[in-house]
Chains A and B, each alone.
Chain A
């Protein structure tokens, strides 16, 4: 009798322990899945570092349609208003907090699939170095590696025509950008970023911690920014909404 109850107790202990392990189980080096941003801070952090004169001039020329400097849509010059590419790192900010992102890991590359604009980004993980003095690209150039359970992505070669974010903060071709992704539990990825752009800012801009949550039921939708449809929308909705008349 005594032996039986001890055995039963041991069995229950093993079962409940195994159950707990299965419930928590995740591979911290597996980032696959559809992820939705939780934070609504739509840039690196609320406090931008001081800008250089070049950065300030670019900031002043930007007329955002969002945030504290917002002008009506029809009066702004945000590249998104004409379906121009958002580029990097901007794809990680406002749009991804509305439209999720999928991460797909393959042996030599990690892909980020952004629902907004039906866009992908490739992060090379085959050990290659970042290019030296590359031609600028909307998405820049990115390589990734694992530091323990943190996926570290380093990027450069961004296109100066992009805005850093919806507030019209600048980014230059000299920018270097680091992202650190950590899957802290099955449902959560934490991301911190550092933007080092001496042409635009007087010191590096370190982000607050961004949280992505696993959204297993979500399938990435087809969401193109369609220039012709967007132009019609601008003429029929945004312009009159801003009091701009066009015939």
Chain B
């Protein structure tokens, strides 16, 4: 088992934080969009099956790269209902890297198509 994991890790040249083999789609309520350098981050509350609210943090690319792909700092605001897909942290904590191979939906509207643009390096 350990050697298999090691082999997978050696094959994978991405970041050490996120599991690029997994993709999780989450829906919840935005608490904050930090359009910060060198990485933007989106925070939002997700209710789990037991009704417990967990605040997720999503790592994104730099504002400059996001702006080139048509993003703005007003793209998400507190209270927005969003559906977003992430590569989850290997640690199992509520942290993920945005997966732009899937669309981003805000208040029922697809604001970003599944086009892979401005995906952070993974």
Contacts and interface: CB of A to CB of B under 8 A. Distances in A.
Nearest to B61: A98
B43 interface: yes
A72 interface: yes
**Among B17, B59, B62: residue with most chain A CB under 10 A:** B17
B109 interface: no
B64 A115 contact: yes
A81 to B, nearest CB: 10
Interface SS majority for chain A: loop
Contact of A240 (B13, B39, B93): B93
Given A68-B13, A221-B68, A241 B95 contact: yes
Interface in A75-90: 75-76, 83
A237 B15 contact: no
B62 to A, nearest CB: 5
A70 B15 contact: yes
Nearest to B32: A236
B105 interface: no
Interface residues of B, number: 31
B39 A233 contact: yes
Nearest to B58: A237
A241 B57 contact: yes
Interface stretch (B44-52, B70-78, B84-92): B84-92
B121 A241 contact: no
B14 interface: yes
A243 B38 contact: no
Interface in B18-67: 18, 34, 36-39, 41, 43, 57, 59, 62-65, 67
Contacts of B90: 72
A73 B64 contact: no
A226 B38 contact: yes
Interface string B77-107: 0000000000001111111000000000000
A229 interface: yes
A70 B14 CA distance: 8
**Among A66, A116, A225, A229: residue with most chain B CB under 10 A:** A229
B116 interface: no
A10 interface: no
A230 interface: yes
A65 B14 CA distance: 9
A103 B5 CA distance: 43
Contacts of B14: 66, 70
A223 interface: yes
A242 B97 CA distance: 12
Contact of B15 (A73, A115, A223, A224): A73
Contacts of B43: 236
Contact of B89 (A68, A232, A233, A241): A241
Given A65-B17, A243-B91, A225 B37 contact: yes
A222 interface: yes
A232 B34 contact: yes
B16 A71 contact: yes
Given A65-B17, A68-B9, A241-B59, A226 B89 contact: no
A73 B17 contact: yes
Interface in A179-227: 221-226
Interface of B: 9-10, 13-18, 34, 36-39, 41, 43, 57, 59, 62-65, 67-68, 89-95, 121
Closest 4 CB pairs of A and B: A70-B16, A221-B64, A243-B91, A229-B36
